[in-house]
Structures are given as structure tokens and as C-alpha cells.
Structure 1
């Protein structure tokens, strides 16, 4: 059956993967089941941006847009799974992620903690690889014209390279070999999140609709602005959020010493000498509260919040100039401002 929505397309891709996995052996089938489980619980705004851009620009390829939208969601799933392995996190969205699930099962089977954790990491790496391969295959077989498919694949390839560069920069910055400037920290966030979460969906939706290259380029610029705004809000949630609502740890960024714009800004304030004592280690609830208080009183929290607003306004202006803001901005509003309101305690 031809998929008409991104959810239908994603379900078909997951079902096809499950069929191939089950034909190999039960253990591999369980790995693919973990991939499928990792796609659950998200807001699906990335595929929604694909179809919103396609429809707003008068596209006539809804089936291809649905399939490519599902591919973007699988790409996101791959990055999330790998990101958790890199960060050493076993929980995502309030439940065990792929690595955590396999670690837990292996512990229950009698393995030691180190061996179980090693298998969990391996499962995470392999599951992410499977999701990535499925995403690219979905684009290649989306049914669009050959030249259009090649252009979409080029955009996916560029997003992959950019995101990998941003992820590596994030890990390198956390080593604190050199202090990160605010511009370098923002560039890292643009690479790590903006390229594939916002610029890619908007651009491939436009390409599938037959838009000209200047429009595709401007949508890419708007997507980068949106992505930085989104990531800045996510950074706030990563320290000030309510895990019960967000499913996201509020100590991971501090523990791993991530040089996010929030912490980079804090290094320029008089409070930094005290704040730094709460960075790079596990925190008690009381210590976390004190770190949150200091990051608020030093002005870093407000600085990041205002910076997110500036980027969002710039993106809205670009979309207005293209003439599609009325169609696309509601999709963005459903993910970014809502996350800020629901996930970050006042």
C-alpha cells in the first residue's frame, strides 16, 4: 500500500526491517525491535516539516514526501541512539534506551556490570547503524524522479557530514583542552542539531515540490536559525527542566562538562568560580538546585533564553520573505515554544 502520511511510511519501513531481521535470527530481531521502540514517543516535527514545506510550495508528490519524512525521522533515531552511546546515557524519554535495554537484559542473564555495559554499547552502535541505513534506503526508493532523488540524497549526505562534525566538536569541547568561545559553541549546536533537524526537512520538502535553488538555500538558512533556537531551549531543559515531563536528565550536561552556550556564557561571569564546582561530577538534588540558582542569578539563563528568541525571530522573518510562514511556523510552534513552556520550570 502506498503511504499517504509519514506515520504510515514509518510503520512500513519498521515493518519491512522487522521482516528482514526476523529472517536472520531471533537475537537480531530483538535488535531491530529496539530500533522500532526508539522511534516511539517523539513529536514527529521533523517529518512534519518535510510535508509542510512540500505542501506550502505546491508540491504534488505526497507519497514521496511521506517516505522522505519517515527517512528523516529514522535519521533522527539513528543520531539519538548513537548520541546516547557517546554520552554514556541509558535512559531516553524517561525509559531505558537501546543501550540501557540490552545492558539490563545482559545483567539479568548473569553477566557482570562491565560486560553488560559493553554489550549495551555495542547494541546501541549497531542499532543506530541499522536506522541510518534504513533512512538512506528509504530516500533512494522514495519514488521521486531520479534527479530529485539524487538531490535529496545530496542533502542527506551533507546533513550527515555536518552533524558528525558537530557531534565530534561537542565531545572535544567537553574535554576542555581549549576554552570554547560563544561563537564556537553556537556553531557546534548549529552543526549538531540545526542541519538535520530543521534545515534538512525544510530543504528536502522544497526539492520534492520542485522549488528553485534560491528558495531551497533560503529555507536552509531559516532551518539553521530554527535549529539553534531549538537547541538553546534544549540546553535550558538539560539543566532546568522537569525530568518527569521531558524524560531528559537535568544533570547529564553538567556532569559531562558540555560547553553549551549556557555554560560558556557562565564562564564570563563572576559567579563562574562557584558554578564550576558543580560541573564535571554527579550532583545531589541540593547541589543541582544551587547550580541552577547560580546559573540564573549570573544571567546565563536569561541570556540563552533571549538568544533563542532572537534566532526564532530571524527564522520567522526568512520564512515570511519566502511566503510560507503561515504553513510552516505552526509546525515549529508545536515543538519549540511548547517544549520551552512545558519542559523548563519558571
Structure 2
């Protein structure tokens, strides 16, 4: 079933890009459209699979509707990733130029000064992200589900957009504040990641299946807990993993000064005076990274965040039990999606 759903989602995405290719070419922006299409390629399709999981858990939904909403949440994810790279100043993703990087390279190739080429790349990325975002909303609006379900889906997407914007701004604001407590970091990660990556697709699937509002709300809570756990695991991977397995340069969070639960915990310990000079340092190198990794381990930050992730995963399972067989379906699907670094416990 998952393979069929994945194929159907990809078919919806292919149709979406094909339907606009000629129109963008007529406007002289086919290179932007091609770049956006490439940005949407790959990935494990976690979010579309969670749409399917939410639907199956609540009795099933029309396969076409589920695939279309799956494509919509994938486009939403693409939009947020593109915009996030601009906000973070990143020009690569998974070791390759992203939209900002590729267009900046094009600008430099025709003789633009570095700052001009960079602005050109960032402008292209912002516009591509906007196109993906608008496309996601249109796919929801035209998914073909009954009108009352479409209205509820649009409300869910609107909530996810509001949460993500608030979380993204809070993420940037957090780089200004050394004293941000762990609880506020978790709230920020809930808004920035859990809302659209977990709660939204799970709830969307439930709505497509005709679940009542109480069930939709409970499924959203399971998604919130799973999403926070996912982000904590992602932060751990970003600091202690390697680029080959995570797709992310382990120096990037330090150079950016990104406030994670790891750093929030460290800021409450004696290790902070040694960690702090490397946070937000654009010239931080692998030797400094090794030192920070050692300090975060020694001060207990790594263990603390691992335990927090475990706690949220367990809480998600316990909450899901209240949903009976639907909860078991949700947890099983999240496990199989495997974008989560689940613990064996």
C-alpha cells in the first residue's frame, strides 16, 4: 500500500510541475521552475506517508484525495526548506548547491559581484518557495474531497502556516538570547517543525477519512509529540552526526548560532563559557567542533536531549493508546516512515 501511495503522490507532483512548465517558460522563468522541481525531488516522503497513516487509522480515505493532499504537504515542506535555507544563509543542501547557490553561481558566471550574485540567488529561492507554497494551497483547494472536508483541510494548513512562521521567527530571535530556556526551545521546535511535518499530515489524513473533531485533535497531539522528538533527534544528528548520513554540514548550526536544546542545556552549566565563543562564529572549524562536541557530552547536554527525545516518543505512544487501533496504526506508520531516529525502548 505504501509503495502505491508513494507512486500516486509522485504522479500528483509530476502533474503539478508539468501543468505549469509551459506557462513559466512563456514568462521567461523556466529555469526557476526547473530549479523548484529539482528541489522537490528525493526525500523519504515522510509527510505524505503520514497523511496516509492518518487516513488509514481512521477507516480509510479516497486514494486520489489522499495522494493529492500528500503532494500538497510535500510541496509545503519544499517551500519551507527553500525559505529556511535563505534565512540561514545556506547555499548548499546535502552537499549540492540549493536554489540560492545555483542561481548565485549563475550570477557570478556572468560577471556579477559576489554580493549581487548572492542577492540574485536569494531572490530566486524566495520566489521559488512562494510558488511552492501557493501550489500547496491550490492542491488542497482542488483535491476533490467533499467541500466541508476541503474547508477543514484549508484551516489546518492555515494553522500550520501561522505556526511555522511564528516558529521560524522565534528560531532566528533565539540567536540573540543566550538565556533561552530549554522549554522555550521545545516550544519553538513545536511551532517550526512539529506543526507542519507531523500534526498537519496526520490530521489531514484523519479529516479525509471523516474522523470527528475530537479524534482529529487527539491525532494532532500525537503528531506534536512525535514532531518534537524528531526535531530533537535532528538537532543531535546535526551536532554529532556526519554530513554523509544527515545531509547537513555539522558546522552549520554552530556557525549560524542556532539555538538548540543542546545549547540551551549547556548554557545552564559551567561548560557554557567554553562553548559560547564558538556559537555564531562563521570561522568555526572541525577542531572547534570536536571541542564543542566533547563539552556538550561532558556537561550532560547530549544525554539530556536524548532523554527528552525518548520522553516525547514514549508520550506519543501513550497518547496514541487512547486512540485504540487508530493509535497503533499511527505509531506503526511513523516507525515505518523512518525519518524518525526512534529509540528501541
Instruction: Report the CA distance between 1:325 and its aligned residue.
Output: 3.6
CA distance in 2, matches of 1:78, 1:17: 17
Is 1:224 aligned to 2:224, yes or no?
Answer: yes
Match of 1:310 in 2: 311
SS at match of 1:324: helix
Is 1:24 aligned to 2:19, yes or no?
Answer: no
Is 1:328 aligned to 2:343, yes or no?
Answer: no
Match of 2:296 in 1: 295
Match of 2:40 in 1: 39
Q: Which piece of structure 1 moves more, 186-195 or 276-285?
A: 276-285
Query: Any stretches of 5+ residues in structure 1 without a counterpart?
Result: 342-346
Is 1:201 aligned to 2:201, yes or no?
Answer: yes
Q: Which piece of structure 1 moves more, 35-44 or 122-131?
A: 35-44
Is 1:127 aligned to 2:125, yes or no?
Answer: no
Note the 1:234-313 alignment, pairs <5 A.
Answer: 234-281=234-281, 282-313=283-314
Cα distance 1:259–1:336, how it changes in 2: closer, same or farther (>3 A)? Answer: farther
The answer to whether the 8 Å contact 2:61/2:205 transfers is: no
Instruction: Report the CA distance between 1:337 and its aligned residue.
Output: 6.7
The answer to whether the 8 Å contact 1:94/1:246 transfers is: no
CA distance in 2, matches of 1:36, 1:93: 16
CA distance in 1, matches of 2:118, 2:304: 38
Instruction: Report the CA distance between 1:60 and its aligned residue.
Output: 3.3
The answer to whether the 8 Å contact 1:85/1:121 transfers is: yes
CA distance in 2, matches of 1:172, 1:131: 25
Match of 1:344 in 2: none
Match of 2:183 in 1: 183
- Dislocated runs of 4+, deviation >4 Å: 335-341
Cα distance 1:191–1:336, how it changes in 2: closer, same or farther (>3 A)? Answer: farther
CA distance in 2, matches of 1:337, 1:65: 20
The alignment yields a C-alpha RMSD, in angstroms, of: 1.6
CA distance in 2, matches of 1:130, 1:262: 34
CA distance in 2, matches of 1:259, 1:132: 26
Match of 1:146 in 2: 147
The answer to whether the 8 Å contact 2:44/2:339 transfers is: no
Q: Which piece of structure 1 moves more, 44-53 or 324-333?
A: 324-333
Query: Any stretches of 5+ residues in structure 2 without a counterpart?
Result: 1-5
CA distance in 2, matches of 1:296, 1:336: 26
The answer to whether the 8 Å contact 2:195/2:227 transfers is: yes
Match of 1:7 in 2: 10
